[in-house]
Amino acid sequence: MAIATGLYGLSFGALSVAAGLDLLQIMALSLLLFSGGSQFAFIGVVAGGGSGLSAMSAAALLGIRNGVYGMQVNVLLRPPRWRKLPMAHLTIDESVATATGQTDPQEQRRGFWAAGIGVFVLWNLFTLVGALAGNALGDPARWGLDGAAVAAFLGLLWPRIRAREPAAIAVVCAVVTLIAVPLVPPGVPILIAAVVAAVLGLSGLGPATEGLEPDVDPYPDGVAGEPDAGRSESAEGPRIVRETGESGVARQTRGRRQVGTTQQPGVPRQFGVLRRSGIARQTGASQPPGGRTDA
């Protein structure tokens, strides 16, 4: 997880420089906004010449899924009132995935804090390194950093498209955006696409829970579970599995990632959205012990 988060932060720092933000602004985003997708959205709009309002709106809309995560963490860990604010700040893809992957309440709590604090530290450290490196590089166009931005957004979108419905939403929104580009000020096309996406979702056409995966798989294939095994409870490698119990479509169409996963009996249905599945298919017998039911 450390490597994935570090590299993700590195690219954010470098691309923010290319978007024209100064070091303090970049660090403010990583320290205070602290949500990879939203931060990328913000600098993506700024880089495209969009207004601050458009950038903020895109970041806010992309952050809505964090509210969903917050609900899940709150139900799962039942924190005391005074702890809710720091926990809310650490509520990101990785910490939620780690917590929901455990079955023992104490392990869930430990997993949440360990992943949340760990990612926070690494994310900010590598944002700083990336921003400094980006400053040293100079002219973004010459170095192809605009190509890097394109690749970054596609990389964020890619893991969220596992079925036909999310793919259709993506295509429709991309087309709507491009049609709108010549007609409205920069930044606004993205917001129009957001409205279209929301309408598609509301009308029930959207995926039940597609799109709620982590920005970057913290446990990439091949790395998962091996270097970290036994060191922390998060070493096992989460896979976010959608399982709402009401739509079989998404389940059937995403078999690729579900190979080797097993059900977790006894986990309430609502946590299924972010239920972590085992990665037995990768690490086989090398699963660390720890009383989990998902391996």
260 is a contact residue toward another protein (CB under 8 A) = no
Binding status of residue 206 toward another protein by CB under 8 A = yes
From residue 161 to residue 180, the character string flagging contacts with another protein as x (rule: CB under 8 A) and all else as - is x----x--xxxxxxxxxx--
Q: Pick out residues in 30-69 that bind another protein (CB under 8 A).
A: 32-35, 37-38, 40-42, 44-49, 52-53, 55-56, 58-69
Q: Which is nearer to another protein, 207 or 238 (CB)?
A: 207
Distance CA 113, CA 196 (A): 36
Applying CB under 8 A, does 249 fall inside the site for another protein? no
Q: Which is nearer to another protein, 79 or 290 (CB)?
A: 79
Q: In whole angstroms, how close is the CB of 295 to another protein at the nearest point?
A: 22
Give me the count of residues in the chain: 295
212 binds another protein (CB under 8 A): yes
Name which of 147 and 227 has its Cβ closer to another protein: 147
Is the Cβ of residue 221 or residue 230 nearer to another protein in the bound state?
221
Residue 1 binds another protein, judged by CB under 8 A? no
Report if residue 190 touches another protein, rule: CB under 8 A. yes
Is the Cβ of residue 153 or residue 293 nearer to another protein in the bound state? 153
Under rule CB under 8 A, how many of the chain's residues touch another protein? 115
In the complex, the smallest distance separating the C-beta of residue 290 from another protein, rounded to whole angstroms, is: 26
194 binds another protein (CB under 8 A): yes
Out of 200, 254, 258, 267, the only residue in the binding site for another protein (CB under 8 A) is: 200
